[in-house]
Amino acid sequence: MDTKVLLGEKQIPTHWYNVIPDLPGPLAPVLHPGTLKPLTPQDLAPLFPAPLVEQEMSTERWIPIPEPVREIYRLWRPTPLYRARRLEQALGTPARIYYKYEGVSPAGSHKPNSAVPQAYYNKLAGIRRLATETGAGQWGSSLALACQMFGLACTVYMVKVSYQQKPYRKSMMQLWGAQVFASPSAETEAGRAALAADPGNPGSLGLAISEAVEDALAHEDTHYALGSVLNHVLLHQTVVGLEAKEQLRAAGDYPDVVLACHGGGSNFGGLALPFVADRAAGRQVRLVACEPSSCPTLTKGVYAFDYGDTARMAPIVKMYTLGHDFMPPGIHAGGLRYHGASPLVSQLLAAGQLEARAFPQRPCFEAAVTFARTEGIVPAPESSHAIRGAIEEAERAREEGRERVILFGLSGHGQLDMAAYDAYLSGRLDDFHYPEEKLRASLERLPKISL
Amino acid sequence: MDTKVLLGEKQIPTHWYNVIPDLPGPLAPVLHPGTLKPLTPQDLAPLFPAPLVEQEMSTERWIPIPEPVREIYRLWRPTPLYRARRLEQALGTPARIYYKYEGVSPAGSHKPNSAVPQAYYNKLAGIRRLATETGAGQWGSSLALACQMFGLACTVYMVKVSYQQKPYRKSMMQLWGAQVFASPSAETEAGRAALAADPGNPGSLGLAISEAVEDALAHEDTHYALGSVLNHVLLHQTVVGLEAKEQLRAAGDYPDVVLACHGGGSNFGGLALPFVADRAAGRQVRLVACEPSSCPTLTKGVYAFDYGDTARMAPIVKMYTLGHDFMPPGIHAGGLRYHGASPLVSQLLAAGQLEARAFPQRPCFEAAVTFARTEGIVPAPESSHAIRGAIEEAERAREEGRERVILFGLSGHGQLDMAAYDAYLSGRLDDFHYPEEKLRASLERLPKISL
């Protein structure tokens, strides 16, 4: 077999896979954060265009991908599926390890897979500008790219501490034409209030969400865009898993286990959800979400209704959560520092359709270094969690002396995260454990919902 | 046609193309910097393994690529050829623009194409360690990667000012297992002498070369490796142009003009030399080297014998040169700041087989921004020179109302160069012109050679 399985552009999926009809039960309602009443499509209209609201609750199993979206996907899709032979040899494992590599997108991660259709549907709806928040910048840069491709303006509220410490992603957003504000900013009521209370406020993702939502609500021509958690985001990301299945078929293989890192769920859902359909059809395949043990939403959280954001302005959804005001330690995998999880992933996990595993930071970097020294590619710190999970599966196969087919998602490259590798290689990397007491306290502050 | 032309791994070239038999005349001799006498293969044996010395002067047109080298190439090769439709539309040009993208390698540029065979031949010769110099770090990181793949140790002398200001590439080398010293270092006589004279010496590429060569000469198990200029380096890089020709054939097209940026010649030679064979066979294709007007080796230099390095320790070769002690301004395209040029490229240029054009820094960044906003990919500052050249060709085609097929080399991505884009976008980018007086002075210090 070749090192990579490549598909032609004609094999870019024509439809996204919607897992909703294959869920083990009905979707839980989404609640208004103020009234605690179920949200209606009308409630979402000021923020999202109609097709995205429809996708949020559609029961169609296959949703056509608009041709202008596939046109932009062609700039980097289909992405390669690699057989990690050099890693297998280094581990001395009888397992066959495959990885699907999303770092070839212009933004360096899987995030543009949803940014592009979101920009497209908004353009179609006559919207002129999108507002969003970003932490370290993976989502903000992807949305900037997508808006540029469809001639939309883009405003990004970037958590101030990242804006100052990680200027590279900020410059990338500006290169793609976005306007970037350090959050808290003077542009919104929420930002001004935060600055008045504390001019040195370093910002948080929750606050940046508040600013972006306020911006969108205040301007007729502006909508809001979110890069994870929501059903339509996971839907768009299924191009990853659909391609991977096609590529494995071309390689004559099928996975025993599929692993991907999990923050809000967009990367894990993108790779794993298309395999849920196979499980529904009776196929045996384990689906494992890999998360940081310092932010152990799926492994230590509870399945309950909770706010999507710290500021309690976002809708309340039923999901695995650590509590909306749980503040995870500052690990390098910034994309995995979210207190909640995708409702779709949560429901499947609660029903026993998925597994979840948590890994501390240092073993993940150890796995990432092993990977970089065998396969070459420098992995994003987020992706290193999936590598850690895959290596442990491969080692177990070796101990058991059994074949095993492992597929994992390499969601992005880490060339902009070299400071984190520097800290690891020089022994300066902290290994946070999950703060048990903080977690107990934050879980006590869950909203009391009875439906 | 698709957006990209992809080849299968079986179509990775099996042979490199050696332009020496297609040169318009015999190779000029290479002279010892001390004796000024022609160098013999024996003189090179302490630095390079025999196969590389042979490749340096081989008259075989096709040199087989060893299978273990192709095996590593498979990690990212064949690289994609793109049709730049969105750029064409933005320019409103009737030209068809193609670009060959080398940024998909793990190091993010074309440099591993030669680093991998250099590491391989040294491993075969029983060498345990390679020493090299690097400026901004593209070559150093590529050699670190290649050494890691073949189990060789790697020592990189990195110009101190880059070591301090661009720590990302240093960390990447360390991630791939290399030992990196800021040059001048305390590890060599040359470094210690420089530090004794000036403890604050910021380093230079010339000095780093001296340190790496001294290290290699002082250790039996250690060889030296160079990332550009030499014939064998350009030979290895011809995989780029050979693939591009195959891909254009698949697209049913042939270029009227081929453009690539030129520093020492490895990128330009890699793309353009395979087309020299076509010219020899009577085909019409223009080959244009694009260089910075602040370091205008090919457009303002003289074709003469000169030292390869500032310290006059490297061999003397016949090449286009600005004088071995010409110090170009600190442009962001660090890979194009070399006073000389590949002897192969120089001989072809002197014979009228190639063209050369020089571009100031700001118009190159302007072109790079246009490119990033249409095609998505963030180009390396070096590559932006080829984009500038290609855009001017496309605009000329538009003015003349004629079709034209343009191929250019996108040698690497610029995600680690966002500070340069930041300077450009905020209007802080200087536009250096070539320092005419300094050039006149340095040309007066060329060695007096009569053969």
**Which conformational region is residue B177 in: left (phi greater than 0), alpha (psi within -120 to 50 degrees), or beta?**
left
User: What pLDDT is recorded for position B414?
Assistant: 96
* φ/ψ of residue B290, rounded to 5: -110, 120
Is B50 in the A-facing interface, judged by CB distances under 8 Å?
no
How far is the alpha carbon of B266 from chain A, nearest alpha carbon, in Å?
22
Q: How far is CA B143 from CA B66, B154, B200, B401, in A?
A: 18, 8, 28, 46
Q: Which of B4, B106, B369 sits opposite A175 (nearest CB)?
A: B369
How far is the alpha carbon of B335 from chain A, nearest alpha carbon, in Å?
19
B108·A176 Cβ contact <8 A: no
Is A382 in contact with A336 (CB distance < 8 Å)?
yes
SS3 B35: coil
How many C-alpha atoms does A209 have within 13 Å on its Cβ side? 16
Query: What ipTM does the predicted assembly reach?
Result: 0.96
Query: Which structure tokens are listed for B450?
Result: 């009569």
The residue ranking higher by pLDDT, A104 or A430, is A104
How far is the alpha carbon of B124 from chain A, nearest alpha carbon, in Å?
19
Is A74 in the B-facing interface, judged by CB distances under 8 Å?
yes
DSSP B93: -
Q: Which of B329, B345, B380 is nearest to B262 (CA)?
A: B345
Q: Which of B145, B376, B422 sits opposite A376 (nearest CB)?
A: B145
User: Sign of torsion, CA B162 B165 B166 B167?
Assistant: positive
- Residue at A204 is within a domain: no
B171·A376 Cβ contact <8 A: no
Please give the helix or strand (H or E) that residue B408 lies within, else none.
strand B405-410
Residue entry with tokens 């179609």: A124
How far apart are the two ends of chain A, measured CA to CA in Å? Answer: 54
Is A115 in contact with A145 (CB distance < 8 Å)?
yes
Query: Which structure tokens are listed for B433?
Result: 């012109």
Chain A residues whose CB is inside 8 A of the B169 CB are 418
E-strand stretches of B26-176? 62-64, 81-83, 96-101, 129-134, 153-159
- Residue at B244 is within a domain: yes
How far is the alpha carbon of B419 from chain A, nearest alpha carbon, in Å?
7
User: What pLDDT is recorded for position B387?
Assistant: 98
User: What pLDDT is recorded for position B450?
Assistant: 75
Cα–Cα dist B321/B305, whole Å: 8
Instruction: Tell me, rounded to whole angstroms, the distance of Cα B387 from its chain centroid.
Output: 16
Banded pLDDT at B405 (limits 50, 70, 90): very high
How far is the alpha carbon of B2 from chain A, nearest alpha carbon, in Å?
7
Residue entry with tokens 């800290």: A423
- Residue at B120 is within a domain: no
- Residue at A366 is within a domain: yes
Across the A:B interface, residue pairs with CB atoms under 8 Å apart total 118
The two most distant CA atoms of chain A are separated, in Å, by 63
Is B149 in the A-facing interface, judged by CB distances under 8 Å?
yes
Is B391 in contact with B361 (CB distance < 8 Å)?
no
* φ/ψ of residue B14, rounded to 5: -90, -15
Residues with Cβ within 8 Å of B101's Cβ and at least 6 positions away in sequence, in order, are B79, B80, B81, B82, B377, B410
Residue entry with tokens 């697209």: B251
Residue entry with tokens 């500038």: B388
Cα–Cα dist B420/B20, whole Å: 38
What single letter denotes the amino acid at residue A301?
Answer: G
What pTM, to 2 d.p., does this model score? Answer: 0.97
User: What pLDDT is recorded for position B436?
Assistant: 84
What single letter denotes the amino acid at residue B161?
Answer: V
Residue entry with tokens 């299945």: A245
How far is the alpha carbon of B78 from chain A, nearest alpha carbon, in Å?
10
Among A416-420, B165-169, B389-393, B402-406, which is the least confidently predicted range?
A: B165-169
Is A348 in contact with A320 (CB distance < 8 Å)?
no
For residue A413, the domain's CATH number is 3.40.50.1100
Mean pLDDT confidence for B321-340: 87
* φ/ψ of residue A441, rounded to 5: -65, -45
Banded pLDDT at A271 (limits 50, 70, 90): very high
* φ/ψ of residue B319, rounded to 5: -160, 165
User: What pLDDT is recorded for position B326?
Assistant: 86
Cα–Cα dist B106/A275, whole Å: 29
Q: What is the pLDDT of residues B225-254, one digit of tens each?
A: 999 999 999 999 999 999 999 999 999 999
Is A370 in the B-facing interface, judged by CB distances under 8 Å?
no
Banded pLDDT at A47 (limits 50, 70, 90): very high
B74·A145 Cβ contact <8 A: no
User: What pLDDT is recorded for position A220?
Assistant: 96
Structural domain harbouring B384: 66-108+234-443
A372·B419 Cβ contact <8 A: no
Chain A residues whose CB is inside 8 A of the B376 CB are 75-76, 105-106, 145, 149
- Residue at B216 is within a domain: no
Interface of A with B in 408-427 (CB under 8 A): 415-416, 418-419, 421-422, 425
- Residue at A28 is within a domain: no
Q: What is the DSSP string of B213-231?
A: HHHHHH-TTEEE--SSSSH
Q: What is the pLDDT of residues A154-200, one digit of tens each?
A: 999 999 988 988 889 999 999 999 999 999 999 999 999 999 999 99
Mean pLDDT confidence for A84-88: 98
Banded pLDDT at A69 (limits 50, 70, 90): very high
User: What pLDDT is recorded for position B206?
Assistant: 83
User: What pLDDT is recorded for position A450?
Assistant: 75
Bridge partners, B260 (sequence order): B289
Chain A residues whose CB is inside 8 A of the B177 CB are 373
Among B4-8, B157-161, B334-338, which is the least confidently predicted range?
A: B334-338
Is A386 in contact with A257 (CB distance < 8 Å)?
no
Bridge partners, A316 (sequence order): A31, A307
How far is the alpha carbon of B108 from chain A, nearest alpha carbon, in Å?
9
A145·B375 Cβ contact <8 A: no
Banded pLDDT at A426 (limits 50, 70, 90): very high
- Residue at A148 is within a domain: no
User: What pLDDT is recorded for position A1?
Assistant: 66
How many C-alpha atoms does A317 have within 13 Å on its Cβ side? 22
Number of domains in chain B: 1
Q: What is the pLDDT of residues B176-233, one digit of tens each?
A: 999 999 999 999 999 999 999 999 998 888 889 999 999 999 999 999 999 999 999 9
How far apart are the two ends of chain B, measured CA to CA in Å? Answer: 54
Query: Which structure tokens are listed for A374?
Result: 């065998």
- Residue at A270 is within a domain: yes
User: What pLDDT is recorded for position B354?
Assistant: 98
Q: Which of B74, B145, B415 sits opposite A415 (nearest CB)?
A: B415
Cα–Cα dist A76/B435, whole Å: 41
Q: Which of B75, B372, B375 sits opposite A175 (nearest CB)?
A: B372
**A4 pLDDT more than 70:** yes
3-state per-residue secondary structure call for chain A: CCCEECCCHHHCCCEEECCHHHCCCCCCCCECCCCCCECCHHHHCCCCCHHHHHHHHCCCCEEECCHHHHHHHCCCCCCCEEECHHHHHHHCCCCEEEEEECCCCCCCECCHHHHHHHHHHHHHCCCCEEEEEECCCHHHHHHHHHHHHHCCEEEEEEEHHHHHHCHHHHHHHHHCCCEEEEECCCCCHHHHHHHHHCCCCCCCHHHHHHHHHHHHHHCCCEEECCCCCCHHHHHHHHHHHHHHHHHHHHCCCCCCEEEEECCCCHHHHHHHHHHHHHHHCCCCCEEEEEEECCCCHHHHCEEEEEECCCCCCCCEEEEEECCCCCCCCCCCCHHHCCCCCCHHHHHHHHCCCCEEEEECHHHHHHHHHHHHHHHCCCECCCCHHHHHHHHHHHHHHHHHCCCCEEEEEECEECCCCHHHHHHHHCCCCCCCCCCHHHHHHHHCCCCCCCC
User: What pLDDT is recorded for position A21?
Assistant: 96
- Give me the sheet containing A355-359, strands edge to edge: A4-5, A81-83, A96-101, A405-410, A257-261, A286-292, A355-359
